[in-house]
Structure 1
């Protein structure tokens, strides 16, 4: 989710404190700023490049230790600005706002490292799109309703829980449709179901079989399955060559679902990797390229974030 949406969620959450949602209310301000704060890791993008940014994005800044630290810093700043405040109460709600950021990031397909630095695992539920209209509507009702009763708060919370359950049910339906569609033609190893980037009623999928990786989209309303790309799986030695490079090690950690293709010319062996999770404007979002010479000496390697025509050289020591 984008920082503005996170801030709106933070404002909405502050309604549960019992105080009115207002820009003159320190709890509302603390909760909103806290909900946007974990994306402070964007500063890496300013001083470095997209490779270093994506390498750290939703990492330590989204972890519990960082959320506590950010909540403390924001509490002190907001408290100084407003003067007479209950610092403990302000800290609790600011932390809740900050935690909401990581929580909602974990509900989409990118995930977040809640327990960094203790583990590098990203937690992700694959339930929500990067922007979710239902969540936004629920938040706006909490922000703009003048008189909020406990019944209203409870109702909104139950709607939210029900919506998450419904999204889980939608994902399971998409998985069953895809499995039924391909169970006869392929030996399925794994079916990955991801929320679509744009369409509410559609889900993306990556089917891993013994011979191919199939990438497509399923409409859970009419059951229609469309295949965007079909990739023949590479030989194990090609995967090993790619993974032995720094960009390969990073890419396999960055994306749990990727494909490697090979191109041979007169002088070089070129390995191109594609992150199969995000498909936008008829192409995949993230790529990487590794070039070997005839003797399989590494010549160069690139990370290509957001655009296949964008090249960020990756050194062997990073």
Structure 2
């Protein structure tokens, strides 16, 4: 989920914790637990700082080890140890419990996005991504905000937040069922589909659709249960030639391939260089595919520059690929 949603989730958990007499016993204790739940709801995303380094490391590692099983113990222990010195009235065990719940909830809800997490690491490095909840979901965010406001106005924490979580459980179930129905409709439309990716968007009734068959890729949208296929691409094997072998040595392209599930490729020989472009087909937006990896090679197959990430115009891509003059 996005940062804002994780924040309101942390506040909601801190508010719910006030049903515990120890937490409610003093303002000091309440503040300590609230700090624990808010920090716990954010800390798995500390790997976002990798984006300051480069996109390749960010793509390879975001929601990786920081969202793994060992961190369910490590993060709460770190948070509780630090906060106990500031808020001893909260008690170490209560800080540990509520920070554990916050961290666990963060990791749990992220698996329902299309991006997913490596939540079962170290047993497997597989990315777990169900894709039926958008990274930012208006209903989830707004319902948390409403519940928090109702609590601040004096409503009891227990009934308020248990009602919230009950409604959210029904919402998640409804989204999962809707995704399954759309996949079934896609299967009827493209019977030879080998893989069907149906991912939510910020719009409640709209879903992104990407389909892989033996010979083709299909890209489209679903509105409710109505499927529209916008484009069809030949599924061409990646050649094992000198150009591709050289491009694969680039860390940006390697990061892209490790993350992307459905992509096509092309090789373009231009005056200034040879361009190898890989395009993720899952994120079509207004007829454009913004998530790409591009490698520029000279005549001797040396890497001149490269980029991976979100690009919405050729001009911006060229700026990313053009070395800065010193």
TM-score (norm 2): 0.81
Q: How does 1:63-78 map to 2 (within 5 A)?
A: 63-78=68-83
- Counterparts of 1:243-254 in structure 2 under 5 Å? 244-246=248-250, 247-254=252-259
Aligned to 2:47: 41
> Equivalents in 2 of 1:124, 1:207: separation in Å?
16
Distance 1:88 1:294, change over 3 A: same
CA distance in 2, matches of 1:41, 1:171: 30
CA contact 2:235–2:264 (8 Å) conserved in 1: yes
Classify the secondary structure of the residue corresponding to 1:188.
Answer: coil
Distance in 1 (alpha carbons) for counterparts of 2:212 and 2:189: 14
Alpha-carbon separation, structure 2, partners of 1:42 and 1:266: 37
Larger % of helix: which?
2
Of the three residues 223, 228, 231, the one matched with 1:229 is 231
1:148 counterpart = 2:152: no
Taking the TM superposition and a 5 Å limit, the aligned residue runs for 1:131-210 are 131-144=136-149, 145=151, 146-148=154-156, 150-183=158-191, 187-196=192-201, 198-210=202-214
Q: Residues of 2 paired with 1:239 and 1:228: CA distance?
A: 31
**SS where residue 311 of structure 2 aligns?**
coil
Task: Choose from 112, 118, 135 the match for 2:117.
Answer: 112
Distance 2:64 2:179 in 1: 26
Aligned to 1:316: none
Q: Note the C-alpha offset of 1:81.
A: 2.4
2:93 maps to which of 88, 97, 104: 88
SS of aligned partner of 2:196? strand
Partner of 1:27: 33
For structure 2, which runs of at least 5 residues remain unmatched after alignment? Answer: 322-326
**Post-superposition shift, 1:265?**
5.3
Conserved 8 A contact 1:6-1:35 = yes
RMSD between aligned residues:
3.0
Per the normalisation by structure 1, the TM-score is 0.83
Once the two structures are TM-superposed, the CA of residue 152 in structure 1 deviates from its matched residue by 4.4
Q: Could you list the runs of 5+ residues in structure 1 that have no partner in the other structure?
A: 314-318
Provide Cα deviations, 1:55-96, integer angstroms capped at 9, x if missing partner: 211111122323432222222333222342211111110111
* Structure-2 change in CA distance of 1:177 and 1:89 (3 Å): same
SS in 1 for 2:264: strand
Q: Which residue of 2 aligns with 1:99?
A: 104
Contact 2:256/2:308 (CA < 8 Å) preserved in 1?
Answer: no
| Alpha-carbon shift at residue 128 of structure 1 (Å) | 0.3
